[in-house]
Structure 1
Amino acid sequence: MSTAARAAEPAEAGALWSGPYAGALLSYGRVAGEGAGGALLVGYGWRSGPWALGIEGDLTLGGFDGRAQGGRFETEALGGVRARVGYAFDRFVVYGAAGAAFASVEYARGGARDGATHFGWTLGAGAEAHLGGGVSARAEFLYVDLDRRGYRADREVSLAPDGGLARLGLNYRF
C-alpha cells in the first residue's frame, strides 16, 4: 500500500503547480510614487520534477502617487509580464521571476497635465503555498526599473521610475 501511495505522489505534486491560474494581489511600494494598489493576475505553470516553471502577467491599478520637481506624479496603471522559475517541495514553491514592465504615469503642475507610458524590466522573488483545492497564497517582492520620459506641464520635467513592490495575493488554479 505504501508503494501505491508513493507512486501517486509525483502526479499529485506535479498537478499542484501545473496549468492555468488567475488571482488577485495587493501591492505596497514605491514606483513613480509611493502607495498601495490592487492587481489582477493570470498565468500558466508547468511542473517537471522539483522545478516549477511559468509565465504570468498582471495589471495593478491605483494608489501610487508622489511629488517631484514641483509637481505631482500619479501612476494610473502598473503591469508586467514575467517568466517564473521555482523549486517546488511539498505544498510550497519558492521562485524567482524576471520580465518586462510598464507604467502609465501622469504629471500635473500649475494646472497643466501631461501623461506618458514608461517601459522597462522587473526582477523579483517570492513563495507560494497551496492551501487546498485550487487555491494558493503568495508573497513576493518585485523590483521595477522603467525608462526615462519627459513631461510638459507648466514646464518640462522628466521621470525614470524605479523601486520595489511588496505583494500578497491569492491564486486559483483551474
Structure 2
Amino acid sequence: MHRLLGTLLLFLGAALASPARAADVAGTDDAFAWTGFRVGVIGGYGRIGEAGPLLGASIGYDWRFDDVVVGVEGDLSGGGVDGRREGGRYGIDLFGTIRARVGYAFDRFVVYGAAGAAFVSADYARDGARDRDVHTGWTIGAGVETHLFDALTARAEFIYVDLDRRSFDIGQAVGIGPDGGQIRLGLNYRF
C-alpha cells in the first residue's frame, strides 16, 4: 500500500511539474475544453470485500459549462482481489462501474466527485464445492484529472463501493456482501 501511495504522489507531482501547457501551444484559455469522448486504462489497489489489484479500461463523455464539467463513464476491470472468507476462498473476477461525475475545471485540472452503480462477478469455493454469482450495488468517489499533453490526461481517484449480499450455494448457503475502498490511477485519450 505504501508503494501505491508513493506512486500516486510521484504521478501527481509529475503532472503538476509538466512543462507542456496546451494553452501556450493553442494560444487560448479554452485549450482545456474537456468536452468530448475519452477512452483509457485504469489500475487500482484496495479492498472490496478482500484486498488486491485491479487493471482495466474505461470509456466516457464529458461536457464543459464554463468551469463546471459534467460527465458519464463506465469501466471494467479484472485482477487479483481474493482472500479467505467464511472458511473458504472468495474472489472477484470482474469489477465494473457506471458513474456520473461532476467537477470544477481550473487551468489544466478538473477536481470531481462521482457516483453511480457498481457490480462484480465473484466466486466462492470451499471443501471442493464452488459457486459463482453477481453482486450489484453503488459507488461514490472523488478525484483529480489533469492534461499531460494535447489529448492525453491522467487521473487519480478514490472510490468506495458497497455491494449487495449474495448467497453462494456450496451444499449450504454462504452469504457475502462485500464493500470497501480503492485507490485508482488512470490515463485517458480524449477525442
TM-score (norm 2): 0.84
Equivalent residues in 2 for 1:3-152, closer than 5 Å:
8-10=28-30, 12-14=31-33, 17-152=34-169
Q: Distance in 2 between matches of 1:46 and 1:109?
A: 48
Match of 1:13, as an amino acid?
F
Shift of 1:32: 2.6
What CA distance in whole angstroms lies between the structure 2 residues aligned with 1:9 and 1:133? 14
Query: C-alpha offsets along residues 89-134 of structure 1, whole Å, 9 cap, x if unaligned?
Result: 0000000000000000100000100011000000000000100120
The answer to whether the 8 A contact 2:32-2:147 is kept is: no
- C-alpha contact (below 8 Å) 1:111/1:154 kept by paired residues: no
CA distance, structure 2, for counterparts of residue 121 and residue 133 of structure 1: 33
Match of 2:183 in 1: 166
Q: Provide the rounded CA distance (Å) in 2 between the counterparts of 1:42 and 1:63.
A: 22
Task: Assess if the C-alpha contact under 8 Å between 2:47 and 2:179 holds in 1.
Answer: yes
1:3 corresponds to? none
Q: C-alpha separation between the residues in 2 aligned to 1:115 and 1:32?
A: 15
User: As a proportion of its length, which structure holds more strand?
Assistant: 1
Cα shift at 1:145: 0.4
* 1:126 counterpart letter in structure 2: G
Deviates more, 1:64-73 or 1:149-158: 149-158
Structure 1: how far apart are the matches of 2:155 and 2:48?
A: 21
Deviation at 1:62, TM superposition (A): 1.5
Give the number of equivalent residue pairs: 165
CA distance in 1, matches of 2:85, 2:186: 30
Q: C-alpha displacement at 1:154, in angstroms?
A: 4.3
Query: Tell me, what secondary structure is at the counterpart of 1:30?
Result: strand
Q: Matches of 2:104 and 2:143 in 1, distance apart?
A: 11
User: 1:160 offset after TM fit, Å?
Assistant: 0.4
